[in-house]
Structure 1
């Protein structure tokens, strides 16, 4: 099934026939007009996690907390230096080495205005009010723009690197007072994917970070399976899969060769959502399928398969060392079977994993039902309580 699903997206990205000219390029978002986000010319001189720029953000949305935004150096999927932003929220009283949670929101968007560093404050992030629950526990919170400087939706390994380097930046930023803080990771859906990759990359990419626990839910652990489920036939969420293909093409130009393969309807959809946020993407792609946007017969491509494997937790070889809490709805459109497969692999490697399949819950319901358990799990890890497991 995994091979068939991967082939479906590989084929979608590499179909042959009456395609657009071979010179077609990825469609990148309109750059952020705020100069704070611009990378400095000497970016390569900095190390991953180094703070390049900082500012305080006045806001009434997080009462009593101090909120900073940090521009920091990180690394893209081609191992090239890039700049990214994380928003760091510290409860009243200052950092004091208190626990630090990196929360990765479910951002399935292509426009820079949809990034968490904007949506936290303009009402666009539905999860934003819940962060006050974490702050009320006395935890500091970091919220990275984990899609990066081109809003590369679907580029999950990039999201993991940005998350880890954002934590390095938060700990290195003296005014926050978080040096040496114990760290937890949390996220749901697309944010859960970035969370999972941060956990899997951490042992080699950022082994110095004191990561004590990981909580992730509703995670699409195999992009090929997800693409097959959303695009083989008309689906109300087709736009999300199409946007992920666009985002991967931004991060892997010349490997995810989407733009050259689109038919006129596909190019229209691509242009329509190139700077869109989640709701607009879903609306624009509602009840479409790959056959509606691609021209010609489907044929697989090895570079596309490689990109998908690099960004799917089911096929990525890295394993978290920190204890993991995974939750998933029994009725989720994202296949729970693949989540069980990933859990089994982590268990065989010796990682403590607690997997909760929530009876009767779909994707939306599971996000609400599992969150209190996830935060309780992290609280126990911060307290030094041995991690449970049901391997």
Structure 2
């Protein structure tokens, strides 16, 4: 494998569905292959990994084929008792080199793609002994920001994984959903559509870290800031999703901004953030931002892309930084309020200490412990708590020590084997140090 470079998804025949695939059932496996993964495309990730091409559909129900990368701990044997975690990466891009199925592969040229930064989260789930599915939830067209369809792709990826014999799973396998930021948004879409779209799946819970909450509000807030690249990539994705946006863009937005949107479609996320920092759509339009977004068609789209209308039937954990510099805590507060008002069971942790990027990593033990409790049939808590830090508990401290050892294994290319942490609970089903999470 020395010097091997995988083909990008737009060039790789594996991604092209066979003739007649549209007549297959949603989630039906079309083909599979063994793959090698690596940290930043370089340091081998010593796990067992495959890629599955499966039938799914887009926002409008049009059949398409998508890919998920499925993983087991190194040396794990197929076992029907093993749970499955669907981890939705924060793809936050349209370019095919940012799709997890490419960015996670050994030899991939994808430096700056966010899925490469999320390998520790995937490895942490594997270290619990769980199987993991990592779907390309943006689909073959990279439609970042589209509503609901990331959920279809994630759920159909779960269906394909359960049917894939090498994992040894079955229809009764317990499943959990997990994602952060853009991956958290994909996770709440999957949670919202699951009862209608895939009612047969045994989904025990969903964890969404900083799940955007209100994409339209996020666009307005990030536009013209250091993180304006996120807003521009998001707008570029919506142009692919909603054809009615194109006449508005051509009429109201100057060619220079359209050229930047075209570059946003093909660039890797982190370099794009640097290149597009402080770009303000209002400077390239004959309308200010508020007026532009107030156009009737824009209002319809902004309403359509906002999650929270449908209450997920599984319990949720939502984690958010109070001082998050990218996703406003007010937007997540409002999302939780919509969910609770619709009847969802939500535990909401607001962290005073963390920034956006920091919370993703310091919250790993808390998020995984919550999933472990749902897999152990411990009743899910509910309610909102504002804490000093989600890392400020004995249980989380143990998890961070485990994460430090796991990170060392990742960086040195040693095998990621199953080293599960067994949750300790008292007779009331509560963790002995649970009160320490409450903070002040």
| Range into which the TM-score falls when normalised by the shorter chain | 0.7 to 0.9
Structure 1 residues 257 and 245: CA distance shift in structure 2, 3 A: farther
TM-score by length of 1: 0.86
Q: Within the alignment, does 1:188 sit opposite 2:170 as a pair?
A: no
SS of the residue 2:382 aligns to: coil
Match of 1:86 in 2: 68
Where 1:55 maps in the other structure, the secondary structure is: strand
Once residues 307 and 246 of structure 2 are traced to their aligned partners in structure 1, the CA distance between those partners, rounded to angstroms, is 19
Q: CA deviation at 1:218?
A: 1.1
User: Unaligned regions of 5+ residues in structure 2, if any?
Assistant: 1-7, 39-43, 385-440
- For 1:274 and 1:187, locate their aligned partners in 2 and report how far apart those are by CA, in whole Å: 23
**1:200 aligned partner:** 192
Distance 1:352 1:279 in 2: 35
Whether the 8 Å CA contact 2:9–2:15 is kept in 1: the answer is no
Residues 146 and 163 of structure 1 are in contact (CA less than 8 Å); yes or no, is this contact kept in structure 2?
yes
Deviation at 1:223, TM superposition (A): 1.2
Indicate yes or no: 2:211 matched with 1:219: yes
Give the whole-Å Cα distance in 1 for the aligned partners of 2:313 and 2:19: 36
Query: Shift of the alpha carbon at 1:59?
Result: 4.1
Give the SS at the match of 1:385.
coil
CA contact (8 A) 2:324 2:355 kept: yes
Whether 2:328 is the aligned partner of 1:345: answer no
Q: Which of 263, 267, 276 is the matching residue for 1:276?
A: 267
Using the alignment, how far apart are the partners of 2:77 and 2:193 within structure 1? 30
What does residue range 48-63 of structure 1 map to in structure 2 within 5 Å? 48-59=26-37, 61-63=44-46
Task: Determine helix, strand or coil for the equivalent of 2:25.
Answer: coil
Flag the 1:256–1:307 CA change in 2: closer, same or farther, 3 A.
farther
Structure 1: any 5+ residue segments left out of the alignment?
A: 1-29
Deviations 1:105-156 (A, max 9, x none): 1111121111000111236411113322211110000000011111111114
TM-align CA RMSD = 1.9
Cα distance 1:191–1:256, how it changes in 2: closer, same or farther (>3 A)?
Answer: farther
For 2:254 and 2:140, locate their aligned partners in 1 and report how far apart those are by CA, in whole Å. 28
* 2:59 is equivalent to residue 77 of structure 1: yes
Matched, 1:266 2:260: no
Aligned equivalents of 1:95, 1:252: Cα separation in 2:
42
Task: Report the equivalent of 2:357.
Answer: 364
Determine which structure has greater relative contact order: mean sequence separation of CA pairs < 8 Å that are 6+ residues apart, divided by chain length.
1
Q: Deviations over 1:315-360 (max 9, x none)?
A: xx21111111110001013121222222233223443211110013
Given that residues 104 and 195 in structure 1 are in contact (C-alpha distance below 8 angstroms), is that contact kept between their aligned partners in structure 2?
Answer: yes
SS in 2 for 1:154: coil
Which residue of structure 1 lines up, in the alignment, with residue 228 of structure 2?
Answer: 238
